Structure 1
Amino acid sequence: MKLITKFILIYLSVTVFVLGIGGVISYYIIKGEVDKELKFEFMERIDRVTYLLEQGRTFYPRREIEGDQNLVVRELDYPVANRVEVTDTLIWHDRLEQDEQNVKVSAYRNINGSPYYISTYGAMIESNDITEAVIKTLLWIIGLQILGAAGIGFFVSGRLFKPFRKTLDRIRNFDLHQKEILYAEETNVKEFTDLNNFVEQMTRKAVSDYKNLKEFSENASHELQTPLAIAKGKLELLTESDLSEEQYQYVESLERSIKKLTRLSESLSLLTKIENHEFSNNQKVNLSHLISESIEEFREFVIFNKLKIETRIEEDVTIQMHPALAEILWTNLFQNAIKHNIENGIIWVELTRDKLTIANTGKPLSVDPAQLFERFRKDEQSSSSIGLGLSIIERIAEQSKLDIDYRNENDRHIVEINLNHVKTT
């Protein structure tokens, strides 16, 4: 829902609520004024009857006085104190065929030594007429409010919110890799100016942090490779010298650690580049060709590990993806299927235009499959794996807008990638 639409709905809701309360108040105010006028008129009638009685006029229990049928004059047989009572009463209305509320004024008077009861009633304006008038007035006001709100929403807001929409478009099109700061633009609305200033500060900081992080990761990766290469070379020279069996085992252990550290450095560097979106998905990759070639390249390695491969690959399945990421994604998947397999195990590969599935036999998992996508998370912490393979796969899938699912069923490790979210042919 747009901001202006929400504002209009809130405005109209408050308007209807306030006008509803105002309508009730207006009804009682109008009715009170009408009743007050009626009381004055009825008191004049009573004073007139009193005057006529004082002049010796005689009335029957109910007597018409100059066309007034809503008058009761009755002589009482018991003494009374002079007083006036004003009440509401229901009187049958012949035309409407229902009881209508009327104002009744009753007076007890001592006239020429005799007690009298004088009563009159009536309604200058009926209650339903007041209600109808108030409702009509409120409906006109609400109608005008709706027209005014719609006019503000669809005409005035176009110009009023133009700076906000412009800032929103600039944020939407902001690309961190271009390292361009969104400089603040002055507007005639303080809140929009504050927003633009905040956006400038945030983009300035984001660009600065991105540059620093990128330089650090590149420098760290580069600086690590040199001492690792030197250490590796020294160890190779050391193995050529006369070493005892125990010393040779120490050297082999160091070589394995250096290889693991090298893989760790390369993997962390790759993860950083992926998370910094340094790869663009602007190329078509023939996934069928890539997978088929890769399987052939790993054929000897698969045979060496006493594994069997079963494939079902559709031809010419292409995907919009960076070629390097596509190769890294498949290579990590395939190497995991080999590395975490069992002796005389099987690897299943299936590629369709909708999904890529790779499964392998293996030991049951001891952890939740979702946790294996976390960095440095491994099923067996003592294994030689550095625990970044599935993290890299997940980051590549996220950047390439691929849905990835990993599960363990019947001693099978299954990774399924949905290809429907990206352009395929």
Structure 2
Amino acid sequence: MKLLTKTTLYFVTVSLVVFFAGGVGLYKIMQNLVEREVDADLYSRIHYLFDNIRQLDSLQNVAFIATEPIDIEKVKKPAPTTYRLQDTVLYNKNIKAYMPYRQLSTVVKSGKNYYRIRIYKSLITSNYLIEKIALIITLMLILFLILAYFLNRYIFGKVWADFFDTLHIMQSFRLDNPHSETFQTSEIIEFNQLNRELERMTEKIIRDYEAVKEFTGNLSHEVQTPLSVIKNKTELLFQESLNEKQYELAGSIYSAVIRLSGIVRSLGLIARIEKNQFVDKTAIDFKALIQKQVDDFQPLMDSRRVKPEVHFDGSPKVVMDKDLADILVRNLVKNAVKHNVENGFVRIWLTEKKFVIENSGQDPGMPTEELFEQFSRASDQGFMGIGLAIVKKIIEHYHWSIQYHFKDEVHRIVVNF
């Protein structure tokens, strides 16, 4: 959820609660004020009637004095003079419907008799007024929320403009082309603090990255010489008269040197890719390249009784560096053959948009995404290790995508051009 959406959601929620509570409170206050006004009018009218009754000493003309409906009922027994207010409804003959009224009843003495008088006050006007006020409040709430929404978006864009400029700069930052970033000065202190910290962080990242690349390059260059010496000396040992134990030790040393030499070369290759040193671009015939690699690994597949199946549904010309294309395809085919099983298979599909390779094999016993790491546990377990790390670097270099899945004893890698 975006920051603007979240803040707007909180604002609208709080506004609705406040306006709802305020609207209910205002409605109750208006209702109470109207009710008190109606009650005051009823008391005023009843006292006016009492004054006329005392002057006339009769109830005959009371109905004509009243301006609202009035009921007079003779009471057999005297009752104390009390006032009673209540809401009621009366039938209106003109509109043939019951209408709301406020009623005030009391007992009055006229001559020797007692009478209960009920006077009424219509609530139609009062209710209409309250309904109109409630409607106005609702419309004001809707207009306020609409205005607040657009105003909030406008203010958000103004206030957070510097933040989004910083975010855009950070999104464009790439280690394959590192350079110190310069952020604009903001009127907001917190954004300036953020920019300063980001400047220091990017500078440190660049320094560390350059140090790692330099170390990797030096390691690849300097280690090759002693490795070559060890390799040559080990080969000379094989020409001497060695017993079985010594021969096994020399063989272990030779295998370790070959493996270490390959790792150093791979690290050097990854460093060169990250330094963007492969800038040549050629239209590579992937169909011919795949067929060549399959033919090169055919003897190894025959020795392990692995059956190759190649399907060409297209012949794409992929623009990339020739050496990287050869390394990409060779590593994928090599992994499919090397990490296969006896009497297994290797299936390859090529279309205009993707390159798919499948092979039978054992469960790697780890998440598939970890197999693309440079020093994954797969390297120690005999599964795919730094070879796939190189493949991933090449894929990232050309902004392609790669997926790896393992299901039902089948490894499947898909490269989307």
Alignment TM-score > 0.5, same fold = yes
Change (3 A) 1:121 1:319: farther
Deviations 1:187-206 (A, max 9, x none): 12334334323432432332
Counterparts of 1:297 and 1:312 in 2: how far apart (Å)?
A: 17
Name the structure 2 match of 1:84: 83
Which of 382, 387, 390 is 1:389 aligned to? 387
User: Does the aligned pair in 2 maintain the 1:287–1:317 contact within 8 Å?
Assistant: yes
Deviations 1:257-292 (A, max 9, x none): 211222233345555666x57477994543223223
Name the structure 2 match of 1:24: 24
Deviation at 1:140, TM superposition (A): 4.0
**Quick one: percent identity of the two aligned structures?**
26
> Are 1:105 and 2:104 counterparts?
yes
Unaligned runs of 5+ in 1: none
Which of 412, 415, 418 is 2:412 aligned to? 415
User: Does the aligned pair in 2 maintain the 1:347–1:358 contact within 8 Å?
Assistant: yes
User: Does the aligned pair in 2 maintain the 1:46–1:119 contact within 8 Å?
Assistant: no
Change (3 A) 1:242 1:102: same
- Structure 2 counterpart of 1:99, one-letter code: Y
Change (3 A) 1:110 1:173: same
> Are 1:39 and 2:39 counterparts?
yes
Change (3 A) 1:239 1:327: same
User: Does the aligned pair in 1 maintain the 2:59–2:110 contact within 8 Å?
Assistant: no
Change (3 A) 1:65 1:204: farther
Deviations 1:379-405 (A, max 9, x none): 993x5x674334444554455432323
Name the structure 1 match of 2:170: 171
Name the structure 2 match of 1:246: 245
Alignment root-mean-square deviation, CA: 3.7
Q: Which secondary structure state, in structure 1, belongs to the residue aligned with residue 103 of structure 2?
A: strand
Q: Which secondary structure state, in structure 2, belongs to the residue aligned with residue 175 of structure 1?
A: coil
User: Does the aligned pair in 1 maintain the 2:364–2:378 contact within 8 Å?
Assistant: no
* TM-score, normalised via structure 1 length: 0.80
* TM-score, normalised via structure 2 length: 0.81
Bigger drift between 230-239 and 337-346 goes to 337-346
Deviation at 1:256, TM superposition (A): 1.0
Counterparts of 2:213 and 2:96 in 1: how far apart (Å)?
A: 89
User: Does the aligned pair in 2 maintain the 1:54–1:112 contact within 8 Å?
Assistant: no
Name the structure 2 match of 1:287: 286
Change (3 A) 1:418 1:388: closer
Q: Which secondary structure state, in structure 2, belongs to the residue aligned with residue 35 of structure 1?
A: helix
User: Does the aligned pair in 1 maintain the 2:107–2:115 contact within 8 Å?
Assistant: yes
Change (3 A) 1:50 1:303: closer
Bigger drift between 180-189 and 44-53 goes to 180-189
Deviation at 1:330, TM superposition (A): 1.2
- Structure 1 counterpart of 2:41, one-letter code: E
Bigger drift between 199-208 and 371-380 goes to 371-380
Deviations 1:163-216 (A, max 9, x none): 233222212222223332333432123343343234324323322332233233
Counterparts of 2:363 and 2:146 in 1: how far apart (Å)?
A: 65
Change (3 A) 1:54 1:4: same
Change (3 A) 1:146 1:69: closer
User: Does the aligned pair in 1 maintain the 2:339–2:384 contact within 8 Å?
Assistant: no
Q: Where do residues 271-286 of structure 1 align in structure 2 (5 Å cutoff)? A: 278=276, 283=281, 284-286=283-285
Q: Which secondary structure state, in structure 1, belongs to the residue aligned with residue 19 of structure 2?
A: helix
